[in-house]
Structures are given as C-alpha cells and as structure tokens.
Amino acid sequence: MKNNFNKGNVLTGCASSLVLLSAIVASQGVHAHGFVDVPPSRALLCQKGVNLNCGGAQYEPHSTGETFKGFPNGAGGGPLQGPIDGKIASGGNANFSALDAQSASRWHLTEIRDRNITFQWQYIAPHRTSKHEYFITRDGWKPNQALKRSSFDSTPFCTVDGGHQVPVGGAPHNCVIPDGKSGHHVILAVWTVGDTDNAFYNPVDVNILAEAALPGGWLPVGSITPSTPLLAGDKVKARAFSATGENAEYSVEISIDNAEEGKPENWSFKLAEAINNAHALIRAGIRDEDGNIAPVKGTNRLYAQKESGVTGYQVQLDMQEDANASMELSPLQPEYVLDKGRVSMALTAQTNRRMNLEATLFDEKNKQVGIVQTVGEGNTGLSLDLRGAAPGTHTLTLVGTTEDGRTTRQETQTVILTGEGAGIEYDFVFPDGLGDYTAGTKVLQSKTDEVFECKPFPASGFCKQYSQSANGFEPGVGASWQSAWDKL
C-alpha cells in the first residue's frame, strides 16, 4: 500500500494535516543525516537494489525517517511526539512514503542468527546525540498492517547513551535480542539528535533464527556445519569473536590426519571435542533431554558463558590444493565464421574432478565478447554463443574450479574469427557489467542485435535500474527504455 500526502488530505483533516506539515517542514530544516548500515536498514537495501519500488529512498537512505523526537510518546506529529502512526518509516515525508508500505512479503528480511547483535550507523552529517534506541515489534504483531506504536514493544530492548557528543560513524552498538523474539520482526532503530527537535527512525526488517539461551546460562554463539570433505593435511579452525574483534584465547584449530577424519561428519565431531577439551566456558554439541551438551557426528551447535566474552564463532577451512586434479580443453577449430557478428562455438572440457567451468572469449583489446558457465566432470560440452562479435584474433580462456574451491585450473587457446562483424562497437553485452554503466556506455542487446548508448546525466542513473522483476529500462525492450538509452 502506498500512502500519498496531497492537497486533498489537507482539506479533509485540517488539524492533523497541519501537524503533519509542520513535521515535514521541521524535517527539511535539519542537516543531520544518517542510516543504519549493519544490519542494513530498509532504505539502505533500497539503495542497494535489494528492495525495489522504493521511491526517493533509493537515492537518499540517509534522509529517511527524519521527524520529531519522542517515540513512543503521544500519537506523533508534534514536538516530543515522534513520527505519525503509519508513517514511521518515512517520517511523514511524501518523497519517502513508499517505505511505509508494510506486508509479510514487501521487504527483504536479513537473517539474524545470533542474539548478540551489533548495530552500526553511518552518519552523512553527524550532530550531537542524545541517545540511540532499538525497539522491536511485539510478539504476535501483524506484519500485514501499517507500522504503528502499537506494533512495537513500548520500551527499547537496547539503549546507547550519546552523551551529547558527535557520534563516530561505524562505532558498534552491542545489544542482545530478547529470548522470546523469533521469526519475522521489524527492529526500529532510533537516533535522537541532541541539538535539534528531531530524530531519525530506521526500520530494519529481520528474520530471527537465533536460538534462545539454554538453562545454565549457555548462550548460542554459532555452529559447526560440515559440508565439505577434507583431505589429509587440511586444517579446520573455529575462530572466536568478542565485541572488540577476534578472541584468540578461545579459538581452536585441528588438523586432518587421514581420509576418514576428513569426512564432514567426522571432522565436525573432532573439532567439537577439541573445543570442549580446551575450554570450560565454551561448549560444542547438541543438548540432550537432561540439558547436557555433547558432540555429535554432524552439525554441532556452539555455546558460551557470558563471562567468556565470546559473542560468535566462524569456522575457517585451510585446505591444501588437490595436486592430482586436472582439466584440458579439446582443440578448437582453425577458424569460426561470423554471420553479422553471430556464431556458436562448441567446446569440450575434460576433467577428472567435478568442477565449476567458465569459458570466456576476449577480443584483441581484451574486451569480453562471450561467456558460458556450467558444472561438469569427465567430458563436458559447452556452447559459447557470440552476438555482436567482430573478425580478428581472439583469446579463449577456460577456468575450472573444483566444487570445494580448493583447486583451480586454467587453459588458454587462440581463436580466429572471420566473416562479417556486427558493425558497431560496444562495451558490454547487456546486462553484463551493469554496475559499471555510465553516460556514454554502449551495450549490445542480444534480444534484438542492436547497440544502445546510455544517455547523459541525470538520465544515466536509469541505465543501472534493471533486475529480473523490474526491467522497465532494459534497452530496446523495457517500457521506459527511451528514458535511459539512445539506439545507435
């Protein structure tokens, strides 16, 4: 649902509308700006292209949610009253009203796997700060209804005193999500500015997967999830982290001595045992009916006592190269004949391991003119379909990487293209290189065999606006392509 502020609304509710207008005016007069960077706010994910159809928020995530301070006081819309219910995310600014839409599927959810959570803000124009607060939606909240005060717990689960100082961008706020919260929730991060009447309200959409604390004070801090077979000589390290960074005291490493130990379920068990033997304040394993935590052959959970200071673990694999892995590219034809820039090249890769294969063709200027990817083992066929190629000497590279990532092989062959080229040079085959599109970038649209040039600023910003679900600016194809591109 999209909420619009317009003249008609002002006429139908004079008193409340004047309050809303005053909130917008106050918002526009303040120069402090910032947003939640970690975990990403709703508006930041709009800028990154993860959340779509966000209106002005995708260009100014640092300006969203700015209005009067005071949440959760009153009904909103005046000094010390906070944002208006239903317009919390936008701060009542019509340019950001798309953020006020709320449903179970409208926004991307960031997975939260640790109740010890760190929030970080980025400040575009920092001001002296009274405090940062973090509110979370109530148990049983309605995700398909607009966000109101009644959607949230009335008290923040975490408060950080600002001391009326100018905050440092990226400084962590270490908080703990309440045990009872799980699944889809909205965390409302509130930055209350100390030297103005305003605050910033940033919703963070999350899916809380973290376990609650166990009896005995054991807090979940991660897991050992084995999926990769290891070889003799490989090493596995459980790296411990506290609020200030890696905690070497509680990190544990094991070596793989033979193929049997290298089986995923076995090295997970060995690492869990090593952790339990090394530290009394850390436990790895699965909890039984009596509350005991013991290692298993499979996925093992990691738990820590609060006094350890450990807030999380990362499992790091140190794998040796598989020296016996091999890959070859069968000889190519002496030449390939282009028909108006088109030709299909049949390739065959021979490997003795299952590999991720990528074949790429470069022209004489090292510009990529074709690419194909697949997964295979033994003899694997690939078809490289070229569009818009030009005659000349080209270079084909085949890169194969074993599925466990430990070994990479590469082979290169020269390719001669003859015949008739496409006639117009281009920089990319759309949508390859999408993030690098700027004014003047030329792309080949393979659907129509036409070349398009990105328009000058400010229209050039639309050239990057493309996804499988939102392709209105796709050159020559999208409904609004002429707003971004010129056909050559």
Q: What is the pLDDT of residues 210-241, one digit of tens each?
A: 776 667 788 888 889 888 889 999 999 999 99
Q: 434 lies in a domain?
A: yes
Instruction: Please tell me whether residues 79 and 160 are part of one structural domain.
Output: yes
**In this structure, are 248 and 110 located in the same domain?**
no
Domain for residue 284, yes or no? yes
Could you tell me if 313 and 332 lie in one domain? Answer: no
Domain C-terminal end among 260, 284, 318: 318
For 150-208, the pLDDT digits (tens) are 999 999 999 998 888 888 767 789 888 988 788 999 999 999 998 888 899 999 999 99
Please give the Cα distance from 42 to 37 (Å, whole number): 10
Last residue within a domain, chosen from 173, 208, 243: 208
Mean pLDDT to the nearest integer, 63-69: 91
Burial 234-268 (b: 16+ CB within 10 A, else e): bebbbbbbbeeeebeebbbebebeeeebbebebbb
Segment holding 47, helix H or strand E: helix 42-47
- 21 in the same domain as 153: yes
| Residues 235 and 381 occupy one common structural domain | no
Domain end position, chosen among 174, 208, 242? 208
Tell whether 407 and 435 lie within a shared domain.
no
Co-location of 24 and 84 in the same domain: yes
Angle, vertex CA 38, rays to CA 101 and CA 131, nearest 5: 85
Domain assignment present for 249: yes
pLDDT at 408 exceeding the cut of 80? yes
Is 451 contained in some domain? yes
How many percent of the chain have pLDDT more than 70?
91
CATH code, 233: 3.30.70.2150
Domain of 351: which CATH number? 2.60.40.2550
For the segment 363-397, what is each residue's pLDDT rounded down to a tens digit? 888 888 888 999 999 999 999 988 778 899 999 99
Q: Are residues 167 and 127 part of one domain?
A: yes
Indicate whether 375 and 410 sit together in one domain. yes
Q: How many CA atoms lie within 13 A of 106 on its CB side?
A: 21
- Provide the CATH number for the domain around residue 99: 2.70.50.50
CB-CB neighbours of 34 under 10 Å:
25
Residue 180 domain boundaries: 7-208
Residue 170 amino acid letter? G
Residue 46 burial (C-beta neighbours within 10 Å; 0-12, 13-18, 19+) = buried
Instruction: Give the count of alpha carbons within 13 A of 332, CB side only.
Output: 25
Number of structural domains (the chain) is 4
- Judge if 286 and 353 occupy the same domain: no
Question: For residue 123, which phi and psi values (nearest 5 degrees)?
Answer: -110, 120
Pairing verdict, β 442-445 and 428-429: parallel
Residues contacting 212, CB < 8 A, separation 6+: 115, 179, 180, 182, 220
Residue 177, in any domain of the structure: yes
In a domain, residue 267? The reply is yes
167 with 116, same domain? yes
Does the residue 213 lie in any domain?
Answer: no
162 and 235 belong to one structural domain: no
Name the pTM for this structure.
Answer: 0.45
Q: Sort strands 173-176 and 116-125 into parallel, antiparallel or unpaired.
A: antiparallel
